A and B are shown apart, each in its own frame.
Chain A
C-alpha cells in the first residue's frame, strides 16, 4: 500500500486585488511563505507541481514555464496540472502521488491565479464547448444558478427558506473571514444585506457569490519518515478521491450529484470514515456560491437529501457548531481559482494541527478539503488528520 504522506508546510499570499505585483511576484510570495513555514529551502524540495485555471485567464501560455523561477522549480521535475475549478485539489492530489509513488520525498504544490488581469467570466465562458453550450452558460453564475433552482424544486423547498439559509451561510463565512488575515473580502454583513443585494444570475445575488481574487498558495508534502523531522506537526493525508461527469451539462443530475457523492464516499472509505457528520471536525468545502454549498453538505453525507437548510438553521455547520464549514471564510470570501482548492487543503492542515490561529476550530483532528470544477462536472476530495 502507499506510504504515508503528510502536509508539513503551508504558505499563501494576502489574497485580493494585487495590482502592485506581477504574476511571478505573486507566486514567489506564496512559495517563500511555504518554505519558511516548513523551515526549508528550495534545495530540500525534490519536485514541484503547479496549476491554475486556463492560461487564458492571465493571457499567458504554459504558466508552469513562465513561472518556473517563481515556483523555485529550476533544475527540478515540474509538472502542471489543470482541471478548472478543481485544480487546487488536483494539484494536492498530484503532489500526494509524487510522494506516495516512492520516487520523491518532499514535494512542493503551488496553485496560483491573477484574475484581475482579465475578465474572468469572459475566460470561463470559453470552458463551454463551442458547438452547443458556449452561448448559454452565463458564466459560472449561470450554471450554479440553474443548479440552485433545480435543488429548490427537487425537494419542494420554498424559495424564501433556501435563500435565507444561503444568506446565513454568507453571513457566517464573511464573519469568519474577519479572523483570516489572508482573506480577500473581510466585511461584516447581515442576512438582509445578502437578500437585498443585486441579482447576478437569478436566484443568486451578489453576496451569495465569491469575489475574483488574485492569490497563490503553496503546500509542502512529505513522506512519513521525512515528515516527522519537520518543525511543524504533520497533517496526514488519510484519503483522497476524484470523479467527473459528462461534458454536456444536461446529461447528469446536479442535485444528487454523483461526482461529488463518489469523490467523498471513496475518500471516506480510504480514511476509514463511516459517519462523516460525526467523524469530520471541520470542512473546507469548495463554496464559491452559497446555494451550491447546501448541495455539497448533502452529497458529502452531512445530512439527508433535502435537509441541508436544516443544518444551517440549526447552526450545525456554522461557527461553534458540530461541523463548522469554512472557518477560513471559504471560497465565498477568497477565490483565486487555481489556488482555491489548494488553500482548502492548507487550511484543513492548519486546523488539524492546531495552527489556525484566530480561525481555529477547537479540538479539530479530522478535516475535509474539497474543490469542484468544470461546468458542474468535476469533484475532488481530500481528508486530512492529525493522526497517522
Chain B
C-alpha cells in the first residue's frame, strides 16, 4: 500500500453540545479536543482536509467560514464536498505522498440549520428530468427498496429488525441522536412516508462534527500506543440517472473489492470484527451487507434475522447505532470511520465490541447510494 498511515486520535461533538453553537465554534472545539488529546499544538499542524457542503450550511465555499476555526490560519487546507469520508481519503493521500507526516481530517453538518433534507437532496436531481418529479434521497431510496424487496422477497419485517438493532445499539452511544428500545411492530406501524418506507425506516437528521488525526508510520508513536492502521481503501461512483443504474448492484461492490484487495481480506464476514456501515434507510443496510460480501445476493435479511450483525453476533454492524440513529449528512461518513477506529482502539466505551482487530467503515452519498467508499482499519501494521 505504500507509506503506512494510521489514525492516532478521534474527537466528536454532537447534538446538544453543538446545536446551540455556530459552526465556527463547534469546529474550534472539536479541533481543540483533538489537539489536546494528541498533545499537538496548532503550530505543529501540517495540513487539514475538511468536508462540508455549501447547501448543507447555507454558506457558499463552506470551509471559508471556518478556515481559521479548524486551526487553518496560514496552513495548507483543502475542502472536499458532500461526504466526510472524502476528507479522510484525501488526508490519507496527502500523508502517503510524503509531503506531510500528519493530517487533520474534519467534517461538520448541522441539519438543524438547513432546509429539509428532501429539499436539499431534490437539488441533486437533474433539473430537467427528475427534479420536477420531486425525486430526492427518500423517494430514490424507496424506489430502490421496492425493487430489492420484490427481487429477493426481503420483507419489511427484516428491514425493521435493522432499525430495532441500531436504535438499541444507540442507547450506548452518547453521540447518537435517536436512541430507543423499540419493536419491529413499532417500525411497521410508523407512518408511511414513501412506500415501502416508513418514518422509522428513515434516518434521524442531526448535528455533529468530527475530527481525526492521521499520522505516518514514523510519527505514530509520538501520539498514541493504540494506532489504527489504514489497511485498505476503495471508492467508486455509479452512473447518474437512476434508470441507467442497476440499483441493487452498483458502486459498493467495486469499492469493497478494492479495499479488501488492498487489505488482503478474502472472507470479509470471517475476517472483519465489526463494521460501521452508512445505511440511512433500514433496508439499505441489508443490501449493503450483500454488496460488501457478507452474504450472497438477496440474503441480507437472513443475516439480521439470525442476529449475525447484532451487538453480540458474529459480525456486529453499527454498534454506534449508525445513520438511522444520527444523520449529520456530510459528517456521517467521517463518523463511521471515527467509530470504527474507536472500536479498534478499544475506546468505544459502552458500545465497545470485544476483541476488535479489524474494522470496516463505509460511507455513501447520492441518490440510492450513487457513491460508495470502503475503508478497512486494523490493529496490526504488518
Q: Do chains A and B touch in the complex (CB under 8 A)?
A: yes
Hey, which bits of chain A sit against chain B, CB under 8 A? 1-2, 22, 53-56, 59-62, 64-69, 73-84, 90, 93-94, 97-98, 100-103, 123-124, 126-127, 129-131, 241-247, 251, 258-259, 262, 266, 373-375, 377-378
A246 CA to B120 CA, complexed, in Å: 28
A22 CA to B240 CA, complexed, in Å: 15
Q: Which of B83-128 contact A (CB under 8 A)?
A: 86, 89-90, 92-94, 96-99, 120-128
A60 CA to B24 CA, complexed, in Å: 26
| A and B contact pairs by CB, cutoff 8 A, 7 listed | A61-B124, A62-B366, A66-B124, A75-B251, A75-B254, A242-B77, A246-B73
Given contacts A61-B121, A100-B98, A378-B67, contact A66 B75 (CB under 8 A): no
Q: How far is the CB of A330 from chain B (nearest CB, A)?
A: 22
Q: Is B306 an interface residue (CB 8 A)?
A: no
Which residues from B are CB-within-8-Å of A61?
Answer: 55, 120-125
Cβ B92 vs Cβ A101 within 8 A: yes
Considering the complex, give the chain A residue whose CB is closest to the CB of B122.
A61
Cβ B86 vs Cβ A65 within 8 A: no
- Given A55-B54, A244-B75, A262-B74, 8 other A-B contacts at CB below 8 A? A67-B240, A74-B238, A76-B236, A77-B236, A102-B1, A126-B59, A247-B65, A247-B66
Cβ B54 vs Cβ A244 within 8 A: no
A161 CA to B367 CA, complexed, in Å: 55
Cβ A102 vs Cβ B2 within 8 A: yes
Given contacts A2-B97, A54-B54, A97-B97, contact A90 B123 (CB under 8 A): no
Cβ A65 vs Cβ B3 within 8 A: no
Considering the complex, give the chain A residue whose CB is closest to the CB of B128.
A22
Considering the complex, give the chain A residue whose CB is closest to the CB of B54.
A54
Given contacts A65-B370, A82-B61, A244-B74, contact A101 B97 (CB under 8 A): yes
Which residues from A are CB-within-8-Å of B72?
Answer: 244
A9 CA to B51 CA, complexed, in Å: 29
Q: Is B239 an interface residue (CB 8 A)?
A: yes
CB-defined interface of B33-58 with A at 8 Å, one 1/0 digit per residue? 00000000000000000000111001
Q: Is B76 an interface residue (CB 8 A)?
A: yes
Which residues from B are CB-within-8-Å of A1?
Answer: 98
Cβ B82 vs Cβ A59 within 8 A: no
Cβ A66 vs Cβ B126 within 8 A: yes
Considering the complex, give the chain B residue whose CB is closest to the CB of A262.
B74
Cβ A126 vs Cβ B60 within 8 A: yes
Which residues from A are CB-within-8-Å of B366?
Answer: 62, 65
Which residues from B are CB-within-8-Å of A94?
Answer: 78, 90, 93
A69 CA to B245 CA, complexed, in Å: 12
A243 CA to B76 CA, complexed, in Å: 5
Scoring B79, B92, B96 by chain A CB atoms within 10 A of each residue's CB, the highest score goes to B79
CB-defined interface of B236-251 with A at 8 Å, one 1/0 digit per residue? 1111100010000001
Considering the complex, give the chain A residue whose CB is closest to the CB of B235.
A77
Q: How far is the CB of B361 from chain A (nearest CB, A)?
A: 16
Cβ A247 vs Cβ B24 within 8 A: yes
Q: Is B63 an interface residue (CB 8 A)?
A: yes
Which residues from A are CB-within-8-Å of B24?
Answer: 247
Which residues from B are CB-within-8-Å of A243?
Answer: 74-76
A231 CA to B33 CA, complexed, in Å: 51
Considering the complex, give the chain B residue whose CB is closest to the CB of A89.
B78
Q: Is B351 an interface residue (CB 8 A)?
A: no
Cβ A246 vs Cβ B240 within 8 A: no
Q: Is B68 an interface residue (CB 8 A)?
A: yes
Q: Is B198 an interface residue (CB 8 A)?
A: no
Cβ A241 vs Cβ B80 within 8 A: no
Which residues from A are CB-within-8-Å of B123?
Answer: 55, 59-61
